[in-house]
Amino acid sequence: MNRSNLLRKVLLWLAAGALVSVWVFPVLWGLLTSFKTERDVLAYPPTFIFEPTLANYREVLFGTSSILPNLWSSIVVSSASTLLTMLFAVPAAYALARLRFPGKKSTGFYVLATQMLPPVGLIIPYYLVLQKVGLLDSYSGLTAIYLTFSLPFAVWLMVSYFEDIPYEMEEAALLDRAGRIRTLWYVVLPQVRGGIAVTTVFVFLNAWNEFLFAVVLGGNNVRPVTVAMFNFISVEQTQWARLAAGAMLAMAPVIVIGLAAQRHIVKGLTVGAVKGGGRR
């Protein structure tokens, strides 16, 4: 019995290691490439022992192809879209999960249906609308477009967290004349902090990693870092070392946020599995 348990654990660890390596290997390879010269990058067979250099990071940050303005664009658009999304998503998800009103089912279906629309089919309509109102290549225009796909995602994700709260807690507060707003603020929201944290992180990461809308609806003034990677790709050559350095800098905020919020993410993702479902 002990030998079978040991074998099972070894197999699980091997499987977990194989799955993790699928993600870790490209990141480590990109990290090594960012410290190489172009000669070392193009060497064949690949060189694993080389003299590291910070020239690529200096060029990416302070050179002619600096991505600092692009990082700022990504920060502004991602932060603004995340803030506005959560501002609207929390009350909307609460209403869909806890209140009764005409058209509730059709509203929920509409929120779900918007998640099924292919983004590539919306590019031309979005472009024409922003062109008409003069918001092409602007922070407000790109933020508004990001809201169209982040808000339905956030609402649909948070509905499940609100539904897991026992109705008795809310009814007790309402019987004490707390009012709907005070009940939401002091009773309901503290119970879904993990869900709010998870949703906030996912919305920010989706906005940070978005490329399709940014490359079409952005421009010289608003050019997120995902689009700025093309600065190192041309017809003549691809500057792999600088591209890798730029990719590492672009991934840094994502990795930092993921590590900082991992406790809330795990707690938020497992809250539905350990809580009893509320009355539907």
Domain 63-274 grouped into CATH 3.30.360.10: no
* pLDDT score of 43 more than 90: no
Q: What is the pLDDT of residues 193-207, one digit of tens each?
A: 888 888 898 899 899
* pLDDT score of 273 more than 90: no
Measured distance CA(229)–CA(221) in Å, rounded: 16
Number of H helices, E strands in the chain: 14, 0
* Confidence band of 168 (pLDDT split at 50, 70, 90): confident
Measured distance CA(114)–CA(32) in Å, rounded: 41
**To the nearest whole percent, how much of the chain has pLDDT over 90?**
30
Measured distance CA(225)–CA(205) in Å, rounded: 13
Phi, psi of 238 (to 5 degrees): -115, 120
pLDDT computed for residue 217 by the predictor? 92
Torsion of CA 262, 268, 269, 273, to 10 degrees: 140
* Confidence band of 24 (pLDDT split at 50, 70, 90): confident
Q: Which of 230, 223, 222, 229 is nearest to 249 (CA)?
A: 229
**To the nearest whole percent, how much of the chain has pLDDT over 70?**
94
Residue 104 or 69, more confident: 69
* pLDDT score of 253 more than 50: yes
The residue to which tokens 């019987």 are assigned: 175
pLDDT computed for residue 214 by the predictor? 92
What's the whole-number average pLDDT of the chain?
Answer: 84
Strand partners, 233: 238
pLDDT computed for residue 167 by the predictor? 77
pLDDT computed for residue 70 by the predictor? 92
CB 172 within 8 Å of CB 142: no
Mean pLDDT within 208-237: 88
pLDDT computed for residue 145 by the predictor? 93
pTM, entire model? 0.82
* Confidence band of 270 (pLDDT split at 50, 70, 90): low
Q: Which of 111, 100, 45, 124 is nearest to 280 (CA)?
A: 100
pLDDT computed for residue 47 by the predictor? 81
